[in-house]
Amino acid sequence: MASLALFSTFGVPKIPKSQALFSASRPPSKPLIIYFPFRYQRKISRISASVSTQVLRTSPDDLVASILSKVTETDRGILLPKEGHIEVAEVAQQLKEYCVDEPVKCPLIFGEWDVVYCSRPTSPGGGFRSALGRLVFKTNDMIQEVEAPDIVLNKVSFSLFGFVDGRVSLKGKLKALDDKWIQVVFEPPELKFGPLEFQYGGESEVQLEITYVDEKIRLGKGSRGSLFVFQRRR
């Protein structure tokens, strides 16, 4: 804010004592003019302040906590409204900036992971996670194991109407396509339902970009745009 300084000076010239303003004996030959010199000065002092705006970046730990809080108790994203999916995608994009340079070579990708979110509900679990499938099969666990050097195991455990337990598992071989993208070719899935256990279908293939990984979570984006959030179990 600018500060305003206002300065004014007034001065009256001195008149000798011997000279009177009015004389009774004779009027002055010239009228006496009294000057009131007036000088007005205005000085404006301006104070300029520069405000430097520094963009504060959220730490990766805070972003990890944020994304986990958004997907917890959402049935792996199914119960999230559209706005919730947008918020998850925004946090995932911010975490991408903190990803290691070559995530496919990072040993942190190995371990046992819970699938806690997917932007498309049928991407993990297939028909078991469709609208009809969820009415019949209640998903208990959705786990992905990545074992060194190149083994991937996907397991979905469920219960039929909450009474009969079952499990679908897929075993695949991992191949690095570049520093961030991997390809996994899965064998035909195995279905265990009560005392029955058998294989069905054929091979399948997926490609996934690892966009972030640390000791707690791993983020991946499929070739069709599906966003996955994995939380480490061990």
The one-letter amino acid at 223:
S
Per-residue tokens: 49: 């302040």
User: How does residue 91 score in pLDDT terms, banded at 50, 70 and 90?
Assistant: very high
pLDDT tens digits for 116-174?
999 987 777 666 677 777 777 788 899 999 999 999 999 999 888 778 899 999 999 99
Give the Cα separation of 101 and 184 in Å (integer): 21
DSSP the chain: --EEEEEEEE------TTS-SS-SSS--SS-------EEEEEEEE---------PPPPPHHHHHHHHHHHHTTSTTTTT--HHHHHHHHHHHHHHHTT--S-GGG-GGG-EEEEEEEESSTTTTTGGGGSHHHHHHEEEEEEEEEEETTTEEEEEEEEEETTTEEEEEEEEEEEEE-SSSEEEEEEPPPEEEETTEEEE-S--EEEEEEEEEE-SSEEEEEETTS-EEEEEE--
Give the chain's mean pLDDT.
Answer: 80
- CB within 8 A of 180, min separation 6: which ones? 102, 103, 104, 209, 210, 211
Percentage of the chain with pLDDT > 70? Answer: 74
What are the residue boundaries of the structural domains of the chain, listed by start? 3-45, 60-232
Q: Would you identify the CATH topology of the domain 60-232?
A: Lipocalin (2.40.128)
Residue located via tokens 């009015």: 22
pLDDT of the residue at 125? 66
Residue type, 144: Q
Per-residue pLDDT averaged across 91-112, rounded? 97
**How far is it between the farthest Cα atoms of the chain?**
143
Q: How confident is the model at residue 35 (pLDDT cuts 50, 70, 90)?
A: very low
Is 182:174 a contact under the CB 8 Å cutoff? yes
